[in-house]
Amino acid sequence: MCQSFNMGDETLWNPPNGASRMFQRQVAISEVELALPSGIGPMEKISARSAPRLSRPLSMLF
């Protein structure tokens, strides 16, 4: 089973559950440390929605 990260009707990433949980924890830490919203919403069933205006490439976070 995997979880998916979507923007609108497009799937951006479809990792396994373990990788998804690790990614979500890293995003939460980055949001707190950088005081910036990631644009990644909470998991709903097996998918998360991403807000296009708030999303930044991961390279911009570090």
3-class SS at 26?
Answer: helix
Could you tell me the end-to-end alpha-carbon distance of the chain, in angstroms, rounded to an integer? 30
Give the whole-angstrom CA distance, residue 53 versus residue 39: 8
pLDDT of residue 42: 76
Each residue's pLDDT tens digit, 11-49: 888 888 889 889 989 999 999 999 999 888 777 765 556
Take residue 13 and report the two structure tokens written for it.
């990433």
pTM for this model (two decimals)? 0.65
48 has which bridge partners? 5, 43
